[in-house]
Every structure is written in C-alpha cells, then in structure tokens.
Structure 1
Amino acid sequence: MTYDTTVTADGGSVAGERDTTVPAGRAARELGLKPSEFDLAVQLGRIRTSPGDGGRRRVARAEIERLRAGPGFPEALRRSVKAVGTAEGAALMQVTGALFTRLARLGVLVPVTFHLNRHRAVVWLYPAEELERFAADDRNAPLLTGRTPEGLRSQLDAGVDLRPRNWRGRRLGFLLRLADDPWARAGAVASLLDPLHVAQAVKDPYERSHLNRFRPPSPGHADPGSPAARITEELMTAQDADEIAWLQSELTRLTARARNHRPAPRPARHRPGPAHRTPRDTKPARPASRGLLGRWRRCTR
C-alpha cells in the first residue's frame, strides 16, 4: 500500500494513506442518500467529488463530515436534492398541471433530469427547492396567476418546447464542473453534438478520435440500440441551429485550448531503415576464348 508523508506545522511527520476519499456508493450510504439522490446532489453542486480510478467519482472524508455537521442533517440534505415531476411540482407551486407544463415548455422552469416511463414517454423532473423559490418570488406572480402573454402563447401554438434544450444546458454545466482535463471539457461539449457537427468543428480525425475517449457516458442504463437508448440519444443531441452553432464554436475553442495543453496522440511515423541491397542474379560469363576460337575456325574453313 502506498503512503504519503506530510510534514505538519509543528514539524512532526504524519503518515497516512494516500487516498483519504471513499467511493461514491459508500459516501451515499453514510450520507443517508439513495444512489439517484446522491447523483443529483453531485449534479447540483451539493456534494463535492474528486476523480478516481476508471472515471469513478470519490468523496473526501472531510466533505462527508462537513455535510453531516450541517443543520438539519440528514433531512435538510435530502430535501435539497428532491426532484419532482409535473403533478407534484404543480402542487408545490399551487398551479394547475397544464400551467406548469406551459411554463416548462417555455423555458421558465428548467428540468434537472428525466426518465422514461413504461410507455417510453419522457418524464421530466425538477428540483423542488427551485420551484418553491420561483413560486415565492413576487416578480413571478403574473406568470402564475395571470394569462400567458400573447408572445409566449404564440410560441406554444408553434410547438416550442425548451425542456430538452434547457436540460442539455444544465447537463453541460454539470459536466464542465466535473472535467479536470482540457480534453474532458471539449469532450463534454462534443457529447451534445452529432458526429457530423463535431466533424465540422474539429477537422482533424485524430483529434476527433481523442475526443471520443473523453465523451461522458449517456445518462440512464438503457441497452445500446434499444428504443430507450435512441430516445435518450435524441434528447442529448442539440437540435436547433443556433444551439448547434454555439456548441460548435465552443468545441472549436476548447479543442484548441486542449491541443495547446497536450496534442492528441498520432500514429508513430515510420522511418525507413537503410536499404538492403539484394545481389543481382549473375550468369556465368561466356569465356571470351570460346568466341575467338569460333571465329578462327569459321575463317579457316
């Protein structure tokens, strides 16, 4: 086992294990959180994590103790990461489910995650604390009690639905906060674009291949190629032209920064060695005397 020796302020020596962190699963149990609650807490920035082996996140002992010492633990921590659907969210805000859905489609309420129900319909979830704060803000009263403004109604009539786009924006912020490498930051942006749009922004095939190593896994646990996986992939991929253009611009910028930090690996150039000369096939030379003797014989006939 590897140990790290640190000199303390009083000049003493403290030997401790190099790794003072615990796996995410153990941290969730010690904090009284379900795995989904723990993941949401990390995404919302409630719990600070650090990278571990194989891309798994770990939590420092000091972070666990900080959270356990917080007021109202563990109920307050659970309440801060509670996510609700449309029905419960509408009840929290004291509005109808129809109004809640309209506000979410217009981008006023931003989902934090989603899942697919047994009919493969997308069920969006929202942080309960955010909904309560929104409803308590007097500046939002016209949206909760009055008629939807004409401009917003026309957008709804046109079929606008900003929930997937706003979720992607939220997810990108989460991925960028976790990225500890310039290539990982570029990979986070690339994960929201389809391969064609990535190729337009990153011309070099070796850089694109390197980016793929840093693409974060898709949310959820659907089998690759399944209908659920295809729906998730569609939700993860930018659709609007302005969103695509912005992501491409960011991808170009972040890839350039990553390239300056550490160029993408390329195949080693083959250096030809010294040429090996192959001996030419040589035929035994016909003796010159035979030719001279033949001409002498012909002349004496």
Structure 2
Amino acid sequence: MTGHTITQETADTAVRTSITQGHAARELGLKRGEFELAVMLGRIRTVSDTVGGRRRVTREEIERVRAGESFPAAWLERMRVVGTTEGAALMDISTARFTRLTRAGFIMPVKFYLNRYRAVVWLYLAEELKQFAKSETNAGLLTGRAPSTIRAQLEAGIDLRARNWRGRQAGALLQQADDAWERAAAVASLLDPVQIAEIIKDPYERAYVRRLMPEPFGQGAPESPAGRIIQKIMTADDPNEIRWLRAHLTISLSQARGERPAPRPAPKPESDPGPEAVPGPRAGDEAQGIPPSAPHHETRAAALPDDGKAVRLPEPRGLLKWMRRRGA
C-alpha cells in the first residue's frame, strides 16, 4: 500500500468520525463567534467533508483542545476581542490615537460587525494590543506627535482596516485549504465577480471555484443594505491588493489544473446513424424467394408474379382521385 493511499484512508476516517462545527462549538462550550474566531486563528483545526460542503471538526481535535492546560478560561482569554474604547484603555492611549493607529494599519482588526445603525464596528485581539503596547519599537507611536508620513496619509483619508482584515482572512482561508482548488477559491472569495470571470474563463472551472468558496459572512441578505456593506468590506478595492490576489489566483489555478480537472457534465453519447437505415426482412419474404439482405424497396419487384401479367395497384383516393375524374 502506497503512502498516498494510507494518507487518503486516514483523511477519510477522520471525516467519518467528524462532527459539524455547530456541534463542536456546543461540545466545547463555546459561543458561535468564539468558535469561528478560534478556527480563523488556527486554534481549532477543521477538515474537508465533501466538495463544496461545510468543514467539520474531528473528535481527535475536540479532545486535543479540551486537553490543553489553559482550556477553557485562559484559552478564551487569549481570544478576547475588544472595541476602540476598551482597546485604547488597554494600551493606555486616547481613543483618537488608537483610531489613527488602526486606520494607518499599525493595528489589525480581527473581526467586525454592524451595529443597529449599520455602522461598522471593528474588533481587535486584546492579546495583540497588549503585545503592541509592550514593544519598545512602538513606543514612538504611543506618545508624542505622529510621524509626518502617517499624518499625511491620514489627512488623505487612508483607512487600511478593511484591507488588513481581508489580508488576515485570506491567510486563514489559505491555511485551511487542502489543495490548490481550495486555495484558488479562498483567494477568489475576496475578488469581485468581474475580476474572477476575467481570470477563470472556463464556466465549469468558475462554477467549481464558486462551490468551494467559504460561506458568506452573515448578518443580512446579500442584497440588503447590511449585506451590501459587508460585501464591500469583503471585496478587494485597493489596486495593489487586487494585483496580488489576481496573481495568486492565477498561480493557484495553474497548480489546480495540474492536480485534476474541474468537474464537468458527462458527455452525451454520440449516436452514429451510419448509412440509411435498412429495414429488416418482413414476414413471408423468404417464402417468396426474397433474400433477407435485400433492401425493402427492392422487394416489391421481386415479389411480383412472373406470369407476365402486371398487378394492378389500388387507385389513390381523396383529392388525387377527384382530380383525375375532373380531367377525364
């Protein structure tokens, strides 16, 4: 048995003994948001179920998380998220300075949601904020006047929060991908449909990549006001970001095609009519001396009696017969 076969059988066994993410969250005593964040950060590993299906969690992974010394209290503390006000307090800076640091891209959000007014609320890992504040490298950003380059960017309206979130999301999805097709789907999920169609011209490949894309972020139907805001956040709009995603998608597609082709409908069997169909022999042909292989249209002459008398055929009826009578 080859190593590839053993690996495949091991993966199949893991899938058979796996449970849904919702079930796994309940067994671990985690809220939905806590569980999704843990998966995004790679602290809970998932496995593929079926093509285009939702990812699942193995029993072994559930036990591994439970067996950790820090689970659940310290484990959950490491995933605690905070907003602007609490984040600024953790770093001992003003909320205005905190917002400038996030807009300039020095602090990356890990989650977001829309409040009742459909305003975007960004959330940050408390653990990362503490580490940022402790680093001597960042001391100049926490006190005094911001560097002129940063001030110029902020005055120009730069806001890198959405782009940094997408970068983090792309990294998490690529880490979870099991093959090149899933990597292509992970990257494509951050591009708009026009960009995808320009790169993936084959409709079957495009449909397959679409099936493998992660489920869209919740909180509102796609065409609702909330859904449009979320879709805008999830779709790359920076030229440099778009170029990187397009290049990565092109490379992933090339690798995926080398691994296996995208599924396609089974070709319809081609019917070959061949030469004009020849009817088989009729009952009584052999008794009249007609060879079985003789074409049907040749059997009338062969079936005529050879007494020299012509056989009168029945006259045509209907309109043709009426016309003959008129011409008589």
Do the aligned partners of residues 80 and 203 (structure 1) sit closer, same or farther apart at CA in structure 2, a change above 3 Å counting?
A: same
The one-character-per-residue Cα deviations of 1:89-146 (angstroms, maximum 9, x if unpaired) are 1111111111111111111111111100011110111111111111111111100112
1:296 match: none
1:94 match: 92
Aligned-pair CA distance for 1:42: 1.0
Alignment counterpart, residue 38 of structure 2, candidates 41, 64, 67: 41
Alignment counterpart, residue 181 of structure 1, candidates 179, 182, 188: 179
Larger displacement relative to structure 2 (254-263 or 268-277): 268-277
Q: Which amino acid aligns with 1:273?
A: D
More strand by share: 1
- Assess if the C-alpha contact under 8 Å between 2:14 and 2:58 holds in 1: no
CA distance in 2, matches of 1:201, 1:97: 42
The one-character-per-residue Cα deviations of 1:158-186 (angstroms, maximum 9, x if unpaired) are 10001111111110111112222321110
CA distance in 2, matches of 1:188, 1:167: 14
| Runs of 5+ unmatched residues, structure 1 | 1-5, 7-15, 283-301
Larger displacement relative to structure 2 (263-272 or 157-166): 263-272
1:111 match: 109
Alignment counterpart, residue 51 of structure 1, candidates 48, 51, 57: 48
CA distance in 2, matches of 1:18, 1:191: 24
Q: Kindly, what percent of the aligned residue pairs are identical?
A: 55
Matched residue pairs, number?
Answer: 268
Aligned-pair CA distance for 1:221: 3.4
Aligned-pair CA distance for 1:21: 3.2
CA distance in 1, matches of 2:21, 2:159: 34
Aligned-pair CA distance for 1:219: 1.2
2:65 is the counterpart of 1:62:
no
CA distance in 2, matches of 1:271, 1:17: 42
- Assess if the C-alpha contact under 8 Å between 1:201 and 1:249 holds in 2: no
Q: What TM-score comes out, normalization by structure 1 length?
A: 0.81
- Assess if the C-alpha contact under 8 Å between 1:223 and 1:229 holds in 2: yes
Aligned-pair CA distance for 1:25: 2.6
Aligned residue runs from structure 1 range 260-299, under 5 A: 260-267=258-265, 268=267, 271-275=270-274, 277=276
Q: Which amino acid aligns with 2:39?
A: V
SS of corresponding position for 2:212? coil
CA distance in 2, matches of 1:207, 1:37: 34
Do the aligned partners of residues 95 and 223 (structure 1) sit closer, same or farther apart at CA in structure 2, a change above 3 Å counting?
A: same
Aligned-pair CA distance for 1:205: 2.8
The one-character-per-residue Cα deviations of 1:187-221 (angstroms, maximum 9, x if unpaired) are 11111111111122223233222221112121123
Alignment counterpart, residue 71 of structure 2, candidates 73, 81, 88: 73
Aligned-pair CA distance for 1:241: 1.2
SS of corresponding position for 1:213? helix
2:108 is the counterpart of 1:135:
no
CA distance in 2, matches of 1:55, 1:77: 29
CA distance in 2, matches of 1:207, 1:170: 26
Q: Which amino acid aligns with 1:80?
A: R
CA distance in 1, matches of 2:204, 2:85: 48
Q: Which amino acid aligns with 2:31?
A: K
| Runs of 5+ unmatched residues, structure 2 | 1-5, 7-12, 279-296, 298-328
RMSD of aligned Cα (Å): 2.5
- Assess if the C-alpha contact under 8 Å between 2:19 and 2:57 holds in 1: yes
Aligned-pair CA distance for 1:88: 1.1
Aligned-pair CA distance for 1:61: 2.9
Q: Which amino acid aligns with 2:107?
A: L
Q: What TM-score comes out, normalization by structure 2 length?
A: 0.75
Aligned-pair CA distance for 1:73: 2.6
